[in-house]
Amino acid sequence: MFLNTLTPKFYVALTGTSSLISGLILIFEWWYFRKYGTSFIEQVSVSHLRPLLGGVDSSSPSNSNTSNGEADSNRQSVSECKVWRNPLNLFRGAEYNRYTWVTGREPLTYYDMNLSAQDHQTFFTCDSDHLRPADAIMQKAWRERNPQARISAAHEALELEDCATAYILLAEEEATTIMEAERLFKQALKAGEGCYRRSQQLQHHGTQYEAQHRRDTNVLVYIKRRLAMCSRKLGRTREAVKMMRDLMKEFPLLSMFNIHENLLESLLELQNYADVQAVLAKYDDISLPKSATICYTAALLKARAVSDKFSPEAASRRGLSTAEMNAVEAIHRAVEFNPHVPKYLLEMKSLILPPEHILKRGDSEAIAYAFFHLQHWKRVEGALNLLHCTWEGTFRMIPYPLEKGHLFYPYPICTETADRELLPMFHEVSVYPKKELPFFILFTAGLCSFTAMLALLTHQFPELMGVFAKAFLSTLFAPLNFIMEKVESILPSSLWHQLTRI
């Protein structure tokens, strides 16, 4: 009786409401997936509903006994997701701020600048700063979020004495040109060398003096490296190379600054490929951490030997020579390490200013590498053509899904989240591997389309769709009616009467 009394308007309202609700769910799911890279429904199910339904807890003792291989792989994945200081980071006042003045866009994210503030506090401060008034002021300045407050504090420190870290802050943030930054860094060098010599004589007199010497060493290395970068930007490349070589000889243990990457870029600018090969021979070692600069520079040198005469048609006819095979393997190795770089080198994706911090194997590292090295690939005739013809072949060699890598550890899954924090909102983050649409987005899309179609058909052909709906519901409830009839025939009528009354 209930089914017979339903009118076509009810079916139109029912299907239309279902279509609207599923459409809203679809829009929200799509927005959440685009922003966070995962399905909201799946995340809620795994995070909240699964434990309530008795799902396996990942921290339970039964899951704690993993193999040594899996533990090593996890440790490697965590280390590869570590954020590193960009060795070729730009000057905030002379380059990043000029971009903001011209475009009105902020090239640096808050997360990136916050990491820089932590680096400055680590490198340029120590526990004994309160003993020197200028250093005490600078210790507070590095914690300031407001750029103008930091600059004012640096000027206040310089009124008390020649403070190397105050000059550093002004060179980085107040100087509007590279020449002005270089002048301030030279003043910082003069002050920093004096502090370094004094602390070097007293470093063995106690823990406090040792901390001061460590801080003064960091300050001196930072100043000299930035001065070398100023020379490189002002066109004095040979002078920059000499300063970097001297710095690496004087402080061989301070590898945290990755000065060899600055040196590689300067040597490539000079087209001194023999010295580039010598630097790679030292740092492209299996025991040392890799980077896009190391892998792609090695690929560029091997490509340089064959790229000017390389032709894909000729190679397909006669096969690859040994030198060409070595070049292709080097490109595959580089692409496996960071698969985001080729699109920037081939100008399939637009470049932005590189961030102050990068994630190895991530989109941020690819931007930082291509920003400085695209010109070097263009200078080698045929190198980009060889890259264009061979880079996509890498993905046929890597197992899918990415349980294991080919030459490196499996590509870490954390790069997209970290890159979204490091890169500005106006940049479309490159994602590898491309994520398939979650099941619930496809499901809600299908449900929305199906119910919308039913609503439209019911509105256009109400009587016919009413017949179809009743027939469908009758068919749907037919097994239940059949079971009820069987139960009635088996049970005594008096018992069935009592059960229906209950």
Model confidence pLDDT, tens digit, residues 37-63: 666 766 666 565 556 655 444 434 344
Long-range contacts of 34-41 (CB under 8 A, 24+ apart): 37/416, 37/417, 37/431, 37/435, 38/438, 39/438, 39/439, 39/440, 39/441, 41/438, 41/440
Query: At 19, is the secondary structure helix, strand, or coil?
Result: helix
CA nearest 259: which of 305, 289, 221? Answer: 221
Residue 64 within any structural domain of the chain: no
Predicted pLDDT of residue 59: 39
Predicted pLDDT of residue 148: 92
Least trusted range by pLDDT, from 367-376, 420-429, 431-440: 431-440
Pair (364, 236) in one structural domain = no
CA distance 410 to 399: 9
Least trusted range by pLDDT, from 56-65, 75-84, 240-249, 314-323: 56-65
Q: Is 2 a residue whose pLDDT tops 90?
A: no
Among the candidates 257, 288, 315, a domain finishes at 257
- Phi, psi at 84, each rounded to 5°: -115, 155
Residues 6+ apart with CB under 8 A from 4: 470
Between 311 and 167, the higher pLDDT residue: 167
Instruction: Look up residue 323 and give its two tokens.
Output: 């030198």
Instruction: Look up residue 32 and give its two tokens.
Output: 């959440």
Predicted pLDDT of residue 493: 62
Residue 69 within any structural domain of the chain: no
Residue 445 within any structural domain of the chain: yes
The two beta strands, 357-359 and 83-85, are antiparallel
Find the angle CA(305)-CA(310)-CA(315) to the nearest 5 degrees: 125
Question: Alpha carbon 411 to chain centroid distance?
Answer: 12
What average pLDDT does this structure show over 311-332?
81
- How would residue 20 be classed by pLDDT, with cut points 50, 70 and 90? confident
Q: Give the best-scoring range by mean pLDDT among 131-140, 367-376, 397-406.
A: 367-376
Model confidence pLDDT, tens digit, residues 154-175: 999 999 888 899 999 999 999 9
- Phi, psi at 254, each rounded to 5°: -85, 75
Find the angle CA(215)-CA(218)-CA(223) to the nearest 5 degrees: 125
Residue 167 within any structural domain of the chain: yes
Predicted pLDDT of residue 25: 78
Least trusted range by pLDDT, from 2-6, 140-144, 227-231, 477-481: 2-6
Pair (336, 373) in one structural domain = yes
* Structural domain count of the chain: 3
Pair (313, 394) in one structural domain = yes
- How would residue 78 be classed by pLDDT, with cut points 50, 70 and 90? very low
Pair (210, 284) in one structural domain = no
Residue 95 within any structural domain of the chain: no
What are the distances in angstroms from CA 410 to CA 156, 399, 404, 429? 50, 9, 5, 20
- Counting residues of the chain whose pLDDT is more than 90, the rounded percentage is 29
Pair (449, 432) in one structural domain = no
Residues 6+ apart with CB under 8 A from 199: 209, 212, 213, 216
- How would residue 256 be classed by pLDDT, with cut points 50, 70 and 90? low
Predicted pLDDT of residue 482: 80
Predicted pLDDT of residue 320: 76
- How would residue 74 be classed by pLDDT, with cut points 50, 70 and 90? very low
Residue 197 within any structural domain of the chain: yes
- How would residue 7 be classed by pLDDT, with cut points 50, 70 and 90? low
- How would residue 69 be classed by pLDDT, with cut points 50, 70 and 90? very low
Model confidence pLDDT, tens digit, residues 290-307: 888 999 999 999 998 888
Predicted pLDDT of residue 152: 93
- How would residue 79 be classed by pLDDT, with cut points 50, 70 and 90? very low
Q: Which CATH number fits the domain that encloses residue 128?
A: 1.25.40
CA distance 90 to 357: 11
Pair (251, 290) in one structural domain = no
Residue 44 within any structural domain of the chain: no
Query: At 112, is the secondary structure helix, strand, or coil?
Result: helix
Pair (325, 410) in one structural domain = yes
What average pLDDT does this structure show over 410-430?
83
Among the candidates 375, 409, 436, a domain finishes at 436
What average pLDDT does this structure show over 117-131?
84
- Phi, psi at 83, each rounded to 5°: -85, 135
CA nearest 296: which of 406, 358, 376? Answer: 376
Pair (411, 442) in one structural domain = no
- How would residue 435 be classed by pLDDT, with cut points 50, 70 and 90? low
Pair (118, 210) in one structural domain = yes
Model confidence pLDDT, tens digit, residues 185-209: 999 999 988 888 887 787 777 787 7
Residue 367 within any structural domain of the chain: yes
Pair (284, 421) in one structural domain = yes
Torsion of Cα atoms, 441 then 442 then 443 then 449, to 10°: 110
CA distance 365 to 357: 8
* Residue ranges making up the domain that contains 220: 109-257
Q: Is 495 a residue whose pLDDT tops 70?
A: no
Pair (338, 414) in one structural domain = yes
Across the chain, mean pLDDT equals 80
Pair (446, 357) in one structural domain = no
Query: Counting runs of H as helices and runs of E as strands, what totals does the chain give?
Result: 25, 2
Instruction: Look up residue 377 and give its two tokens.
Output: 């690939």
CA distance 333 to 155: 49
